[in-house]
Structure 1
Amino acid sequence: MANWCELQYDMLEVIAQHLTKIEDYVAFGAVCTSWRAAAANKKKNFRGIPLWKQIPCLMVAAKDENDVGDREFYSLLENEVVAKVNLPKLKGKRYLEALGWLLLIGEEGDMSLLNPFSSGPEIPLPNQNTIPGYDRYEPDAFIFVEKFALSARPSEAEEEEEKCEDYVVMLICGSVRFLAFWKPGDQSWNRVVLRVSVYSDVTYYNGQIYAVDKKGNVVVCNPKNNGEARILATLCYRFWDLKQLYIAESEREESLLVVTRDNFPFFDDDAEDREPRYGTAEFKVFEMDLSAGGRGGAQGGSWSSSRLCLKEIKSLGNRALFLGHSATVSFEVSSNGKLAPGIKPNHIYFTDDCWLGYGATAGGGGKDMGVYNMETGTVEPFYHAPKVLSYICPSAWITPNF
């Protein structure tokens, strides 16, 4: 029997050039090291579009907490599981996703970055116990980190032979959900002292860290200035009460979006069993014009004293949002289907990130997934989850990159 891993490299490159679906491209690169190298060599050229601008896949949650590292990938374009990839480095780890990279978390608080579709090594990060104030929370290392974001892909560089060292890793962690960050060369994590309420989401834009908390406060932080932070804007109480909040890039330059999601468990007064019910009912989107207060809220190295406005918008234009356990991302969608084929503009694609749903409902959490139409205010399902899904290894959006 022929050993397909021994095919000549030139032949593998020709095969890679003839693939027409991102899912096939990912499956091709996952075969072995030599096939992955051929895929990586064409990563800037797949259909003339960088991989990170292609349609995200859903990496389906582990079926149980003792899985062996097998992961299924569900395609929104094909509406089915299109690949099953063995990722042994995920075994016994919790993971969160950002920009196609995974933050792996071990039982002892050890953490690292891994590109699951690359043959490159893991990037070690400082242990959780180097986060200031870590011990006071009596942490469970597996669930200490709630959210993870990256300012850039560690593998990105102008020259492919170079390694990108100019990136920031951001975490929301602890039972009180504070903000921490790390840069290459740091021996420990840096903590952002400013915290009015528990943080809900974090992103990176134009050299600054932006985060939103559960009380609708948008905070901006300069990672190169000892984590100095201030409140940039505040959402009205009636919009954030009992909501999950997210922050993402807007269609307009110098603007960010704050998104509220109504998905907290509630009790149905008419139900006899008093079983809490949960499921996403509505999203609202607010836009914040950063140019109104200077880039990042800072002018000439000092903070502007004025607060910015959050204006509700009814349309995302030609963008689609992806949110949930993974980092919140905003994708440009083209009318000809070349950018993000299969994705609908002005829609929000979401996975289940309501931790209360995992423990407060008899059926377990993880199944509140769907697509929200901003124009009609309706939700449609896209994936029917099995009865039990792991909170340690949840379903997450992932944009493959080699």
Structure 2
Amino acid sequence: MALANWAELPKDLIDLIAKCVKLIEDFIAFGVVCTSWRNSETKVNFDFLSPQLPLLMLADKGDDYREFYSLSKKKVSHVFLPEVRERECYPTEGWICNVKFDTTEMTLLHPFSRISIQLLLKKELWASAERFPERRTRYQCMSIAVLSMSPSFTSDYVLTISYYAYNFLACWRPGDLNWTYVDLDHHGGVSSMIYHKGQFYCVTNSGQIWVFGVPGPSIPQPIVVKATKVVHIANTIFGNYGYLIELSGALLIIFRYRRLAGGDTFRVFEIDVNEVELKKINTLGDYAIFVGLNGALCIDSSNFTEVKSNHIYFTDNDEEVFHCGDGAGRNMGAYNLEDRKTESFYPEESLSRSGICPPTWVTPSF
């Protein structure tokens, strides 16, 4: 019995097969089969509403490739990405905001299409930091980067970053000639930020939650962006780190309590902005949450048999260990909110560490 020549299948049949593929990582593999299949690997044939499982982007190794670990395939893929070699990387909306520590170059990079958007020079951010010279540090160029929407689908987006050891916030819109400093009279560095219902929310290490909006592109610079304090969390609740996340339309905060010997624990609360209070969440239901260097994201685990519900998948994002020894990346695991136990999701013998860019979660997109 002769084997079928997959390359000679009718195009309409190949297109139909392509439309049945739901994960982007599988869709990319689909295009590698042969030229005729690659021709069907287009955005038209992919359902953008299908949920995606985050990939673990492993630590920087100082070469032109980055490794991505798939929870579904339990294997590592090597992607040619010289653009982020030895750079700080902050994934957001399927893109990676990256900056070279010792240069002024900063870009937004789509890791799978390698489309790049050049951002303003780092010296523009130094100009904002000069307002408070006593708060400048040498640890990192940036610490958080959050997009309001993906540049893949619109040019009406805002990029907000926290820079120089979490102490400053600035935003940029396509077409802006310089960064706009966010007026934020906070205490303690910003530990997490999220775009939620048309506004940016951030939480500081001292337990303050702030909110601010950024005018649309129809309003030219100069613009004024001023933050308002929403909630001040008691020290008895706040952990070593706080992550903001949206789940089913609600705004949640996840407190991470770091243990020096590992075994981090977590607590989850819903933020009631109207009542100015926190409500403890004991279960995530079918959801799983992923936390790491640049914040948090959640998925409905019922769509993925490889992910456990009511678990928090975490990577090591403690900046104090980034720049000593062999870097961060040891402290990773999946924390069960019900029994408060942690299990491994990544092979221990392959632990990935870096003092520049430790392992972090990336949501695949077009």
2:161 matched to which residue of 1? 171
Measured in 1, the distance between the counterparts of 2:225 and 2:45 equals 35
Measured in 1, the distance between the counterparts of 2:16 and 2:143 equals 42
- Code of the aligned partner of 1:148: A
Q: TM-score, normalised by structure 2?
A: 0.84
2:43 matched to which residue of 1? 41
Pick the aligned partner of 1:27 from 21, 26, 29. 29
Change (3 A) 1:237 1:29: farther
Count of matched residue pairs: 347
Change (3 A) 1:37 1:22: same
Measured in 2, the distance between the counterparts of 1:168 and 1:32 equals 38
Q: Does the 8 A contact of 2:321 with 2:327 survive in 1?
A: yes
Q: Does the 8 A contact of 1:151 with 1:204 survive in 2?
A: yes
Deviations 1:23-65 (A, max 9, x none): 33233457999977743324642xxx635x2111112112x3x
SS of residue matched to 1:391: coil
Q: Does the 8 A contact of 2:288 with 2:308 survive in 1?
A: yes
2:278 matched to which residue of 1? 310
Pick the aligned partner of 1:244 from 237, 241, 245. 241
Output the aligned Cα RMSD.
3.1
- Code of the aligned partner of 2:298: S
1:143 matched to which residue of 2? 140
Instruction: List runs of 5+ in structure 1 lacking aligned partners.
Output: 157-163, 266-276, 294-307
Q: TM-score, normalised by structure 1?
A: 0.77
- Code of the aligned partner of 2:265: E
Measured in 2, the distance between the counterparts of 1:183 and 1:43 equals 30
Is residue 328 from structure 1 mapped to residue 319 from structure 2 by the alignment? no
Deviations 1:343-372 (A, max 9, x none): 222111111101223345x56421211111
- Code of the aligned partner of 1:367: R
Measured in 1, the distance between the counterparts of 2:343 and 2:41 equals 34
1:138-287 equivalences in 2 (<5 Å):
143-156=140-153, 164-194=154-184, 195-224=186-215, 226-241=224-239, 243-251=240-248, 253=249, 255-263=250-258, 265=260, 277=261, 279-287=262-270
Q: Does the 8 A contact of 1:54 with 1:341 survive in 2?
A: no
Report the alpha carbon displacement of residue 262 of structure 1 after superposing the two structures with TM: 1.3
Change (3 A) 1:138 1:326: closer
Measured in 2, the distance between the counterparts of 1:390 and 1:401 equals 25
Measured in 1, the distance between the counterparts of 2:108 and 2:33 equals 21
Measured in 1, the distance between the counterparts of 2:224 and 2:362 equals 31
Measured in 2, the distance between the counterparts of 1:280 and 1:37 equals 47
Change (3 A) 1:8 1:392: farther
Deviations 1:65-99 (A, max 9, x none): x212x122211123232x22212322343321012
Change (3 A) 1:219 1:33: farther
Change (3 A) 1:145 1:85: same
Q: Does the 8 A contact of 1:250 with 1:287 survive in 2?
A: no
Report the alpha carbon displacement of residue 233 of structure 1 after superposing the two structures with TM: 0.8
Q: Does the 8 A contact of 2:301 with 2:309 survive in 1?
A: yes
- Code of the aligned partner of 2:256: R
Change (3 A) 1:14 1:328: same
1:365 matched to which residue of 2? 328
Is residue 67 from structure 1 mapped to residue 84 from structure 2 by the alignment? no
Report the alpha carbon displacement of residue 144 of structure 1 after superposing the two structures with TM: 1.2
Pick the aligned partner of 2:54 from 50, 53, 56. 56
Flag the structure with more relative contact order, 1 or 2, with Cα contacts below 8 A and sequence separation at least 6.
1
Measured in 1, the distance between the counterparts of 2:225 and 2:33 equals 42
Report the alpha carbon displacement of residue 288 of structure 1 after superposing the two structures with TM: 0.9
Report the alpha carbon displacement of residue 12 of structure 1 after superposing the two structures with TM: 6.2
Measured in 2, the distance between the counterparts of 1:364 and 1:390 equals 4
Instruction: List runs of 5+ in structure 2 lacking aligned partners.
Output: 1-5, 216-222
Deviations 1:312-352 (A, max 9, x none): 21112232211101342122333xxxx34422221111111
